[in-house]
Amino acid sequence: MILLISETPVAGTVARLAKWLGHFFGKPCHPIIMRNYPNNSFRIPMGAFSSLPAWPDVLKDLVERAELIVIHNIYAKSQANNLIYDVVFNCAPPKAKILFQVHSPPLEAPGGLYRPLNDYPFHGSLVIAQGYGRFLPEAVSVPNVVPDATYPFAIQKDRTILLPHMRSTEFRWSGKVTEADHHRLEESAPFSNGYAVTNIHEIFGREAVTHEEVMLRLAATSIVVDDINTGLMHQTTIEGLKTGCYVLSGADMYTIEQMCETLKMDVPPVELVSGINDVIYHLSDPQLDKRVNEMREKATAFSEEFLAEERLARIYYGQLKTAL
Amino acid sequence: MLIYDEHIQLCLEVASHFRLRGCAFDPRTRAFPEALAITNANGKVVTITPKRLFSDPGMQASGGLFADEDLSFDLQLFDLFNEKPQDVKITWKNEHEIWSLLESLKSDVSQIGKSPKIEIGRRQLIVLSERGDPLRACVDRLHEWQPNMMVKPYTSGISMAFMDMETLREHEDEILTHAESIVLLTHEQTYPLVMREEPWLASSASLVLVGETLRTDGWLGGFANVLSSFVGPVADAPLSPHLLYMLLSHLVGYTELFFDTHSHADLYLYQSGNVFSGVDEFVREQVQEKMTHDIVVMSKDRLVDLRQAKGGDICIVVNQRKLSCLMDIFGKDPYTFLKEAYQRGLKPQNIVI
């Protein structure tokens, strides 16, 4: 039996991985997710585990039968988290392998200093292949398994530019698209060839939305602006490519190398930019429509070849086995 | 230290038996004081003439003086007097004594006390610790060992402060506006507090996280990696008074490397790669145009994938300001160097020539 344990749904990743790992290992794989985000923004397949009155006993029973345990992004030193680590490291069978998967950058919430990796004897660690390898060079790089989306109806693309990042700070790794960048984009809107800037809050009226909701809206969106400042890549780029959008991303050379090597693919067809000035330059180009159409075609072909959910899941499975 | 005399304003940043670095101002003439002189114990007098003056905007601003005029001096005393002077005095018009080294040392003898005098200066080294913190125990041990060790005249003019979070908050304005600060703190106890309560510190000071190891500091821009490479194998040992002493003494020993980074002119140093046609001219032009990138990767084709750095025509230059984050990997090949720079959170800039 395989256990994936996390404090939150980690943007739906844990439940998705459980489905695919169960399939490839041919063994039951259970996602143990302690609680949901505010507004219950992600569906948790088995419900919030911490709502069970005797959850430590249930967890102990599961851990004692597990062959592989992957802990996802649990950092905070709360009583519940300490209990999870105590149960996992004291009750797991001697032959069981215990891994840690990092989803967040260091020195910023919730990742902090990756203390659990120093405090507990993990057999290995995994990082998402979107530039996060720089934080833990010794970790095994794994793809973000982003689901496919197909619809039984035709969807027309409108002339919108979607900025899906709601939470942006001044910290090194969270300043994906800053307030100042938003302001500059709004100022330059009259020169953006008739494309209108929008964001998650404007569309949905709230800040946390599920992957399925974003994918459907992206299917009707022409241009997506991912992180343009930090050098990392986020799920938005993959979602944008899979829905045939023209994606602008500030992914740096490190990120592209890590992603291409892990996913065994060519450089993704995104417009690589370094900051808001580059973004405005591309959006105000009189040839923008031609570029959008050209890149959208490339995005669709690229996603079919390299970003199919099953392919990503198979690579994840292969990489996970190298970490064991 | 700032000295307000009835006639002139004097600010001394480094004051030892070997070196005097500071700036001065005469409010009446609104210029450097005429006939300001240095006198040794034997009575030999050397006047600070205009040709010895230069402008150090940072130091002058911290002393409350005009930033862009030639008001600063940096004197090597052994060269001036051809001996190590027993005492040095600064005098004005040969008669009026403004400052004396011996007097200054007498009044500055205990800075790491149990109730330490917290000195705030333009170049600031802060050890931040809370009660019960292992770093606090190390500071106390250092104090017992040699209370005068970190007196400013012997620390290349670096101001030392040993403080807790509450005191840091009191001095927030001074640290933000004037000081170039390096802060030592533990990643177990103090760092989480800083991130929760004083996040401004991470962007306005260089943080060095000490604790079980210095290894994880790479994320903070590589500063601690360079420091570790100077300190040597002991940097990998657990935190101890000895390690703290080594860190402090190396930080004050390599002042030009670890401090003053913002005041350096944008001088670009060749790191690695081929100096292909046009590179020299390009760098010269960019420096004239005040290019301020930290790492510039020049290439004939656009670089999008790090693997492209393994061959081909690329040339890497590094802004001297960033040596404090990169010095330990300076001789590496382009690919290894860039990979490590990315792992330290830096942002190399690719420019196609």
Chain A touched by B350 (CB under 8 Å)? yes
Residue B20 has pLDDT above 80, yes or no: yes
Residue B240 has pLDDT above 80, yes or no: yes
pLDDT of the residue at B109 = 41
Contacts of A135 in chain B (CB under 8 A): 219, 343
Residue A170 has pLDDT above 80, yes or no: no
User: What is the spatial distance between Cα A242 and Cα A219, in angstroms, rounded to a whole number?
Assistant: 9
Q: What is the pLDDT of residues A14-23, one digit of tens each?
A: 989 999 999 9
Taking CB atoms and an 8 Å limit, are B338 and A274 in contact across chains? no
How many C-beta atoms surround the C-beta of residue A140 within 10 A? 20
- Listed residue (B322, B83, B152, B135) closest to B244, CA to CA: B135
Taking CB atoms and an 8 Å limit, are B305 and A253 in contact across chains? yes
Best mutation target, A108, A119, A134, to test chain B (most B CBs within 10 A) = A134
pLDDT band at residue A130 using 50, 70 and 90 as cut-offs: very high
CB nearest to A135's CB, from B219, B338, B348 = B219
Residue B194 has pLDDT above 90, yes or no: no
Residue B116 has pLDDT above 60, yes or no: no
Q: Rg of chain A's alpha carbons, rounded to an integer?
A: 20
The answer to whether the CB of B223 falls within 8 A of the CB of B125 is: no
Residues in chain A: 324
The answer to whether the CB of A138 falls within 8 A of the CB of A305 is: no
pLDDT of the residue at B113 = 35
pLDDT of the residue at A271 = 96
Taking CB atoms and an 8 Å limit, are B304 and A256 in contact across chains? yes
Mean pLDDT lowest among A232-241, A274-283, B65-74: B65-74
pLDDT of the residue at B213 = 60
User: What is the spatial distance between Cα A45 and Cα A15, in angstroms, rounded to a whole number?
Assistant: 7
Contacts of A170 in chain B (CB under 8 A): 203
B157: Cβ–Cβ under 8 A, 6 or more apart, which residues? B12, B13, B14, B15, B21, B121, B123, B255
Chain A touched by B17 (CB under 8 Å)? no
Chain A touched by B219 (CB under 8 Å)? yes
Q: What is the dihedral of CA A242, A248, A251, A257, to 10 degrees?
A: 50
The answer to whether the CB of A173 falls within 8 A of the CB of A108 is: yes
pLDDT of the residue at B208 = 86
Contacts of A254 in chain B (CB under 8 A): 306, 338-339, 342-343
The answer to whether the CB of A185 falls within 8 A of the CB of A224 is: no
- Listed residue (B154, B216, B227) closest to B345, CA to CA: B216
Contacts of A267 in chain B (CB under 8 A): 304-305
One-letter amino acid for residue A169 of the chain: T
Taking CB atoms and an 8 Å limit, are A172 and B304 in contact across chains? no
Query: Is the peptide bond prior to A268 cis by the omega test (within 30 degrees of 0)?
Result: no
CB nearest to A134's CB, from B203, B304, B342 = B342
Instruction: Please report which helix (H) or strand (E) contains residue B291, including its range.
Output: none
Mean pLDDT, range A192-218, rounded to an integer: 88
Q: Supply the ipTM of this predicted assembly.
A: 0.90
Q: How many CA atoms lie within 13 A of B96 on its CB side?
A: 11
Residue B313 has pLDDT above 50, yes or no: yes
How many C-beta atoms surround the C-beta of residue A22 within 10 A? 17
User: What is the spatial distance between Cα B215 and Cα A204, in angstroms, rounded to a whole number?
Assistant: 43
End-to-end CA distance of chain A: 15
Mean pLDDT lowest among A234-243, B276-285, B330-339: B276-285
Share of chain A above pLDDT 70, in %: 98
Whether this prediction's pTM lies above 0.95 is answered by no
User: What is the spatial distance between Cα B153 and Cα B107, in angstroms, rounded to a whole number?
Assistant: 11
Contacts of A272 in chain B (CB under 8 A): 304
Taking CB atoms and an 8 Å limit, are A252 and B212 in contact across chains? no
Taking CB atoms and an 8 Å limit, are A112 and B195 in contact across chains? yes
SS3 at position B163: strand
How many C-beta atoms surround the C-beta of residue B280 within 10 A? 12
Q: What is the pLDDT of residues B265-287, one digit of tens each?
A: 677 888 888 888 888 888 878 77
Residue B110 has pLDDT above 70, yes or no: no
User: What is the spatial distance between Cα B84 and Cα B17, in angstroms, rounded to a whole number?
Assistant: 6
How many C-beta atoms surround the C-beta of residue B177 within 10 A? 10
Q: What is the pLDDT of residues B73-89, one digit of tens each?
A: 998 888 888 887 888 88
pLDDT of the residue at B262 = 63
User: What is the spatial distance between Cα A183 and Cα A180, in angstroms, rounded to a whole number?
Assistant: 5
User: What is the spatial distance between Cα A1 and Cα A23, in angstroms, rounded to a whole number?
Assistant: 12
Per the listing, tokens 């095994």 go with A140
Token readout for B105 is 């040392």
pLDDT of the residue at B1 = 61
One-letter amino acid for residue B320 of the chain: Q
Chain A touched by B309 (CB under 8 Å)? yes
**b/e per residue A240-262 (b: at least 16 CB within 10 A):** bbbbbbbbbbbbbbbbbbbbbeb
Taking CB atoms and an 8 Å limit, are A274 and B349 in contact across chains? yes
Token readout for B299 is 């290439």
Which among A74-78, A205-209, B242-246 has the top mean pLDDT? Answer: B242-246
Secondary structure (H, E, C), chain A:
CEEEEECCCHHHHHHHHHHHHHHHHCCCEEEEECCCCHHHCCCCCCCCHHHCCCHHHHHHHHHHCCCEEEEECCCCCCHHHHHHHHHHHHHCCCCCEEEEEECCCCCCCCCCCCHHHHHCCCCEEEEECCCHHHHCCCCEEECCCCCCCCCCCCCCCCCEEEECCCCCCCCCCCCCCCHHHHHHHHHCHHHCCCCEEEEHHHHHCCCCCCHHHHHHHHHCCCEEECCCCCCCCCHHHHHHHHCCCEEEECCCHHHHHHHHHHHCCCCCCCEECCCHHHHHHHHCCCCHHHHHHHHHHHHHHHHHHHCCHHHHHHHHHHHHHHHC
pLDDT of the residue at A315 = 97
User: What is the spatial distance between Cα B252 and Cα B111, in angstroms, rounded to a whole number?
Assistant: 15
Mean pLDDT, range A127-145, rounded to an integer: 94
Taking CB atoms and an 8 Å limit, are B339 and A254 in contact across chains? yes
Best mutation target, A77, A104, A107, to test chain B (most B CBs within 10 A) = A107
pLDDT band at residue B28 using 50, 70 and 90 as cut-offs: confident
**b/e per residue A221-232 (b: at least 16 CB within 10 A):** bbbbbbbbbbbb
